[in-house]
């Protein structure tokens, strides 16, 4: 079906540790993927994106990995900080007539001091 | 400052009221979107405008009426809403509706409560 899901609804991580948030997507035709961070009372904030012709992309403290074989996307956050506490969700983009974005439900990341 | 500004931030309205949500983007994008975000559900696409033309209406009830007077402004007119319409309404913009490979940039949303 057309769905993007997250394996873990809540992830608790010790401050300073690395975080890994996972996402499964179901559309093999998806060619673009985005990770968003949403803090309480705010809209989704763009973190990092990756095109389907890549399998890894790095940003500042974040890395996105794409495994097209198993249709899996992950977001790695290095040295997790209290300010990283938020809901993270992925989105896949694909052309279905017009270009569409399909969003996952989100994983809540809690950073423990 | 997100580049996409939404007003009001909070809105409480009765089922017989008429109100409007406003969105303005300062990013030079040419596509604008309305999304509905309900608890524990993925973002639901409502409307898409590309170059001020509505290109998608995702089976949204007629009590929601969008308006896009220019590429920087987007409105969502609300009338005779139902309590189940209570949600966070998010506006977004992107560089090109059909280009792909372009992230959506969201505003901070309007938290709507229908009483």
Give the C-alpha separation, A62 to A6, whole Å. Answer: 18
**A77-86, A96-105, B30-39, B93-102: range with lowest mean pLDDT:** B93-102
Residue A7: its pLDDT value, please?
A: 47
DSSP letters spanning A9-70: SEEEEETTS-EEEEEEE--TT--EEEEEEE-TTS--EEEEEEETT-SEEE-SSEEEEEETTT
- Look at residue A82 and give its three-state secondary structure: helix
Best of A4, A41, A46, A101 to substitute, by most chain B Cβ atoms within 10 angstroms, is A101
pLDDT of B100 over the 80 cut: no
Residue A4 confidence class, pLDDT cut points 50, 70, 90: low
Q: Which residues pair with A94 in a beta bridge?
A: A100
Give the C-alpha separation, B17 to A10, whole Å. Answer: 38
**Nearest Cα to B75, choosing from B95, B91, B62?**
B91
pLDDT of A3 over the 50 cut: no
pLDDT of A15-63, one tens digit each? 999 999 999 998 999 999 999 999 999 999 999 999 999 999 999 999 9
Residue A99 has its nearest CB partner, among B41, B90, B98, at B98
Those of residues 26-65 in B touching chain A at CB distance below 8 A are 40-43, 45, 48, 55-56
DSSP 8-class letter at A84: G
| Interface size, chain A vs chain B, as Cβ–Cβ contacts under 8 Å | 56
């Amino acid at each position: 079906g057309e769905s993007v899901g997250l394996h873990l609804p809540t992830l608790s991580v010790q401050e300073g540790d690395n975080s890994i948030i996972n996402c499964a997507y179901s559309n093999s035709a998806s060619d673009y993927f985005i990770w968003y961070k949403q803090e309480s009372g705010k809209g989704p904030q763009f973190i990092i994106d990756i095109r389907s012709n890549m399998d890894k992309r790095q940003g500042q403290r974040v890395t996105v990995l794409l495994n097209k074989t198993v249709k899996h996307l992950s977001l790695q956050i290095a040295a997790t900080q209290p300010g990283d506490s938020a809901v993270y969700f992925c989105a896949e983009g694909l052309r279905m007539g017009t270009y569409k974005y399909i969003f996952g439900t989100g994983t809540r990341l809690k950073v423990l001091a | 400052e997100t580049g996409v500004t939404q007003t009001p931030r909070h809105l409480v309205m009765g089922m017989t009221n008429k109100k409007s949500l406003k969105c303005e983007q300062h990013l030079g994008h040419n596509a604008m979107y309305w999304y509905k975000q309900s608890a524990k559900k993925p973002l639901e696409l409502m409307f898409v405008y590309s170059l001020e033309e509505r290109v998608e209406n995702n089976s949204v009830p007629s009590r929601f009426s969008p308006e896009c007077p220019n590429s920087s402004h987007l409105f969502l007119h609300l009338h005779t809403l139902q309590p189940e319409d209570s949600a966070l309404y998010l506006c977004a913009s992107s560089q090109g509706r059909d280009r792909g490979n372009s992230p959506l940039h969201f505003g901070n949303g309007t938290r709507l409560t229908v009483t």
